[in-house]
Structure formats: C-alpha cells, structure tokens
Amino acid sequence: MKESEVLDLGSRCGYPSNRALPLKNEASGREYWRLSATGFSCILCYLDPAYGGHQKFETIANIFQAHQINSPKILHHASDLGVLIQEDLGDLDLLVALTRDNSKLLTFQSLDVLAAIHSIEPIDIPKLTLEGLRGEMELFCTIFCNQFLGLPDNLSLPSLIMHTSEQLTQQPWVNCHYDFERRNLMLSSSGQIHVIDFQDLCKGPIGIDLAGILVDHYLPADKSFISSAMEHFSSLVTSNQDIAYGYEIVRWGAIQRNMRILGVLARLFLEQDRDFRLKDMPMILSNLIAMVPSDVDCRDYMIAEIQPRLIQRLSVL
C-alpha cells in the first residue's frame, strides 16, 4: 500500500497520524506500518479481508495478556477494513539485539517465554496433522528443488520426509507459535521479551518452536549451544528429559521447519516475485544440512547437488 492509503485507514480507525512508516511484509500477506503523531505511535497491521482476518491474533493476544506473557496490546480492530492497530513495541527485535555477549541470556529468556506459552491450557486452536507436516516438507522437493533450482526428483528426499514426520509424531504436542524466531521476539527497554506475530498458533510438535529459536536462520547451527539451551528448557518443563533427547527434539523440528520455509520462500518468489528473503536461503539450507544425520542418504545429495545449485541460482538473480 501507499503511505497515503495507510494514513487514511488509520484515520478511519480513530488514529489520525502525520506519518506512516513501512516496517515489514510477511509471507502471510500482512503489512506492518508505524503510525506516528505528536507524542504517540502505534502499529497498524493490514491484511486484505479477502485473504483472512485478525480475530485469532486478537483472541490470543488477550489470552497471553491474561497469563502475563508479554505481547502487544490491541488498541483497535476493524475487521471490515482488514486493520488491526496495536501497541508499538519499538524496533529492537532479537535479530538486532542479540550479540555474542548476550546470546545465552536472551536465548534462555526466550525459552522461558516459550515454556510459558506451552503451559497455557486449554486454548481452542487448530492442530497440525501428520499429512500437513509432510505436505509442508514436500514443498522443499517440488517447489524449491524442482521449480526453483531445476533439479530432478531424488528418491532420498521422500525418505527423509517420512522419517522426520514419524519422529515429530512421537514428540510432545504443545501450543506452537509456528514462527518462534528472533524476528518475532521484541526486547523492551526494561529487558523484557515480548512475543509478536502469533496468529498461527496451533497444536504442534514441541521441536518446531524450539528449532525456531535454537537453529537460527541467520547464524550457523551450534550443536553444543543447542544442547546447553535444551538443558535449560528441560528444567522448565520436565525432570526426565536428558540433553541428548533434547537435541533430537530440536533436530527433527529444524528439519521440518527449514524444509518448509525453503519451499515457501521459493514459492513466494516464483508466484509473486517476492525476493525479500532469498538472501537467507543459503544459511537456511546450510543449517538444514547440519541437522540431517550424517548416515541419512540425502545429506550427501544436499551437499553435492542442492547447495551448489542454490549458489549458482542466486548468483544470476
């Protein structure tokens, strides 16, 4: 949208402003803008009503607030306009705030927030299915490998998908943010972490959100750090989960998540010419490879064929 259109929407919702600054676009189609007036600012989220709404986000925000989970307060919701106006939490997400010195502290605090989300019962939210988890991973084969990279089918990839989905069904299923990563965790001036973009909350395998924060899209996967973080997380939720088992939970969550996201990003580029995350693909793929067990056949295929083809493909875009 144009700034003038966003300012008009804000005014129609009772928040007249002097300026609208674009913040980010999401794969879901949501647009985020900061509305500012003298001494005041707020965040306007727009989603074309033809593609969905904000009711679930508002409902979950109220649940989070009731359970003392830091999240943006809802200021106004105009479903007919596709607009949700919420509290402005600033610009310091953990993608910006996290450094070598504070990495452990902020990651552990993020895990504290995640454990608190898991503890909320009951919540009326959708539950992921085995077929759905497999279908999302298959995007890696059909969209990312076949269509985006131009690679033929490889029989080792379906085997990985089947094994991963089997591993995920054996995990505890919990309240799953489904995009619990640094971009969606904000750090307040008081050092408190606030969670945002939780409209996709569902019941899902515990490893997917753990992978979101522990297998970063912007840093190489670190097995030692993952194991240390899982030791902390295990102390929050159970007493009989050792570090090795904790790492395996993250491993299979990361494989599902990274295969899914590579497929989604490739599809956004091919179908909508949205290239805003193509630069992230090499690290996402590298971390996917790092998490695939060394004795799984497709790991060598990813290293020998998929990784070089991705580098080549991105070099000409």
> For the domain 94-315, what is the CATH code?
3.90.1200.10
Q: How confident is the model at residue 192 (pLDDT cuts 50, 70, 90)?
A: very high
Q: What is the pLDDT of residue 103?
A: 96
Q: What is the mean pLDDT of the chain?
A: 94
Q: What is the pLDDT of residue 244?
A: 59
Q: Where in the chain is the domain with CATH 3.30.200.20?
A: 3-87
Q: Where in the chain is the domain with CATH 3.90.1200.10?
A: 94-315
Q: Is the pLDDT of residue 260 over 90?
A: yes
Q: What is the pLDDT of residue 240?
A: 53
Q: Is the pLDDT of residue 242 over 60?
A: no
Question: Quick check: pTM over 0.85?
Answer: yes
Average pLDDT rounded to a whole number, residues 11-18? 97
Count of CB atoms situated within 10 Å of the CB of 100: 6
* CA 229/CA 124 separation, integer angstroms: 29
Do residues 216 and 181 touch, judged by C-beta distance below 8 A? yes
* CA 269/CA 228 separation, integer angstroms: 36
Q: What is the pLDDT of residue 292?
A: 98
The region of weakest confidence among 126-140, 146-160, 237-251 is 237-251
**DSSP line for 234-251:** HHHH-SS--HHHHHHHHH
Q: What is the pLDDT of residue 276?
A: 87
pLDDT tens sequence across 70-129? 999 999 999 999 999 999 999 999 999 999 999 999 999 999 999 999 999 889 999 999
Architecture of domain 3-87: 2-Layer Sandwich (3.30)
On the 0-12 / 13-18 / 19+ scale of CB atoms within 10 A, 82 is buried
Q: What is the pLDDT of residue 46?
A: 96
Q: Is the pLDDT of residue 302 over 70?
A: yes
pLDDT tens sequence across 202-231? 999 999 999 999 999 999 999 999 999 999
Q: How confident is the model at residue 24 (pLDDT cuts 50, 70, 90)?
A: confident
Q: What is the pLDDT of residue 241?
A: 53
Q: Is the pLDDT of residue 69 over 60?
A: yes
